[in-house]
Amino acid sequence: MTWSLGLEDRGVVVTGGAGGIGREVAAAFAAAGARVAVVDVEQERSAEVVAGLERPERHLAIGADLADISGHEALLRRVLDEFGRFDALAHLAAVLRRRASVEDITEEDWDVQLDVNLKATFFLDRAAARLFREQGRGGRIINFTSQGWWSGGFGGSVVYSASKGGIVSMSRGLARTFAPDGITVNTIAPGAADTEMMRSGSSDEDLAAFVQMIPAGRMARPDELAGIVLFLASDHASYITGATVNVSGGQLMY
Ligand SMILES: NC(=O)c1ccc[n+]([C@@H]2O[C@H](COP(=O)([O-])OP(=O)(O)OC[C@H]3O[C@@H](n4cnc5c(N)ncnc54)[C@H](O)[C@@H]3O)[C@@H](O)[C@H]2O)c1
């Protein structure tokens, strides 16, 4: 084994790739030599992210609403066709609807968050695993959960946290299922990272109080989440599966 990341010319998909953390993950993969499909419901922002990557002509911007699970297979097949190989799925796309009181949560709030965050994750992971099996080289699935999977969530995020808890248990089940095919499934649990999602629906005072609970004394920069994604996609992580990696500046310790 070489001690480089070994990601040169690998085909990777980054969903939520136009978001705060996703764009840093896309940039990191591109810098490591991978070919990146940036997938996001925000088509124009995906194109901007790709235009800003190293050697943009090697990458792809794809606008897709992942809540529509009927499009998943074709989306991943397109990536495989364009890049000639598909090796890793980093799945970050998610929505958070903060509601100060549980009394304010509507059925639509529930459905939107569970559909995008949990249901789409299952069907996208399964579609990726089918293509990995077809290529016969194994593969990497990296899902994004949140510390809310463990804590139940702060700041009006009970439903979001339930969806993120589902991602952890589902990823463990998929890890066990896909392991014989050399496909690993892991989740990353960020603490507070300074993005639109983290700030949405939160006052500056609430945020400051939240940050005080973090031993590191600050939110993560979005790029501080990129290294662990690349590691889990690399050859060095070939024997890690079913893990939930805590990246929270000590906010929670497990
Ligand atoms: N920022 C944090 O503090 C934090 C903490 C814990 C977990 N996370 C997780 O990290 C991941 C990235 O979060 P972020 O902070 O970068 O959020 P973000 O809101 O900046 O990015 C999320 C991206 O997902 C896209 N998206 C939403 N719904 C979609 C859909 N239906 N189809 C396709 N794309 C869709 C959005 O357009 C957006 O670009 C998420 O899974 C989030 O739950 C973030």
Task: Report if pTM > 0.85.
Answer: yes
234-248: per-residue pLDDT in tens? 999 999 999 999 999
41-58: per-residue pLDDT in tens? 999 999 999 999 999 999
Structural tokens at position 62: 């794809």
Give the number of other CB atoms < 10 A from CB of residue 204.
Answer: 8
Ligand 1 center–CA 2 separation, angstroms? 33
Burial grade of 70 (CB within 10 A; 0-12, 13-18, 19 or more): exposed
Phi-psi region of 117 (alpha: psi -120 to 50; beta: other; left: phi over 0): alpha
CATH architecture for the domain at 11-247: 3-Layer(aba) Sandwich (3.40)
Question: Given pLDDT bands bounded at 50, 70 and 90, which one contains residue 155?
Answer: confident
Residue nearest to atom 38 of ligand 1 (CA): 19
- State the pLDDT at residue 47: 98
Task: Please answer whether residues 179 and 133 qualify as being in contact, where contact means their C-beta atoms are separated by less than 8 angstroms.
Answer: no
Task: Please answer whether residues 215 and 193 qualify as being in contact, where contact means their C-beta atoms are separated by less than 8 angstroms.
Answer: no
Closest alpha carbon to 163 in 93, 216, 212, 224: 93
- The span from the CA of 21 to the CA of 105, in Å, is 27
In single-letter form, the type of residue at position 60 comes to L
Q: Which residue among 65, 195, 219 is best mutated to probe the pocket of ligand 1, counting the most ligand atoms within 8 A of its Cβ?
A: 195
Ligand 1 center–CA 94 separation, angstroms? 4
Among this protein's residues, is 160 annotated catalytic? yes
